[in-house]
Amino acid sequence: QSALTQPASVSGSPGQSITISCTGTSSDVGGYNYVSWYQQHPGKAPKLMIYEVSNRPSGVSNRFSGSKSGNTASLTISGLQAEDEADYYCSSYTSSSEEVFGTGTKVTVL
């Protein structure tokens, strides 16, 4: 199972909005609404930010939103803040009953 494709880096100024894409295939992202997004700060464990494409766990800011079109899922961070600077990973359930992560995106707040 190949990793989902994400841009290596995305940057934005405080207050701006950025979008991270996550491209897979019809056997993963495109075939199921089981896409999740994780935030990981250096040296820390990942944190679930979005599940089932667009749902936010309790406690996650509503500045984070998710969507999907075809084989590509997206994470949008609006009102970018310094604390949002981190690595972000998408993941998806696959037709092989496995999980696959994205390649990861480093978000920089300018």
The letter for the amino acid at 83 is E
What is the rounded distance in angstroms from the CA atom of residue 97 to the CA atom of residue 65? 26
Sites for another protein among residues 3-22 (CB under 8 A): 3
In the complex with another protein, the residue whose CB is nearer, 8 or 110, is 8
Sites for another protein among residues 50-69 (CB under 8 A): 51-52, 57
CA distances to 14, 16, 79, 97, 106 from 23, in Å: 26, 23, 24, 18, 16
> Shortest distance, CB of residue 77 to another protein, whole angstroms?
19
The contact set with another protein (CB under 8 A) reads 1, 3, 32, 34-36, 38, 40, 45-48, 51-52, 57, 87, 89, 91, 93, 96-104
